[in-house]
Amino acid sequence: MIAQNTSYTINQWCAFWGATRYEFLMQVRRWALWIGFFCVAALTFLAILGTKTWTDDSHRPSVVSAFAAVASLVMFFLPIAVGFLTTDRLTRDRKTRVEETLNTLPASSGARLLGKYIGVVGAALLPMLIAYAAGVAYLLAVRGRDTLSFPLAVGPFLAIIVPGVLFVAAFSLICPLVIWGPLYQFLFLGYWFWGNLIYLPRLPTLNGTLLTADGDYAAVAFFGSDSSVITHATAAQAIASIALLLGLSALILLAGWSYQRWRLARA
Given a cut of 80, whether residue 156 has pLDDT beyond it is yes
What's residue 186's pLDDT?
Answer: 95
Pick 96 or 240 by higher pLDDT.
240
The rounded distance, in Å, linking the Cα atoms of 224 and 233 is 9
Instruction: Quote the pTM value.
Output: 0.89
Exposed / middle / buried, residue 150 (Cβ in 10 Å: 0-12, 13-18, 19+):
middle
Given a cut of 60, whether residue 51 has pLDDT beyond it is no
Q: Identify whether the C-beta of residue 173 lies closer than 8 Å to the C-beta of residue 86.
A: yes
Sorted by sequence, the CB contacts under 8 Å of residue 174 that are 6+ apart come out as 90, 252, 253, 255, 256, 259
What's residue 246's pLDDT?
Answer: 97
Taking only the tens place, the pLDDT of each residue in 184-226 is 999 999 999 998 988 777 778 888 889 999 999 999 999 988 7
What's residue 217's pLDDT?
Answer: 93
Taking only the tens place, the pLDDT of each residue in 158-176 is 999 999 999 999 999 999 9
Taking only the tens place, the pLDDT of each residue in 245-262 is 999 999 999 999 898 888
> Average pLDDT of 237-249?
96
The rounded distance, in Å, linking the Cα atoms of 250 and 241 is 14
Residue 103 phi, psi dihedral angles, 5° rounding: -70, -15
Domain boundaries in the chain? 15-266
Taking only the tens place, the pLDDT of each residue in 74-116 is 998 899 999 998 998 887 777 666 655 555 555 667 788 888 9
Give the range among 23-37, 63-77, 103-117 with minimum mean pLDDT.
103-117
Given a cut of 60, whether residue 15 has pLDDT beyond it is yes
What's residue 264's pLDDT?
Answer: 74
Exposed / middle / buried, residue 127 (Cβ in 10 Å: 0-12, 13-18, 19+):
buried
The rounded distance, in Å, linking the Cα atoms of 108 and 260 is 11
Confidence of residue 53 (pLDDT cuts 50, 70, 90): low
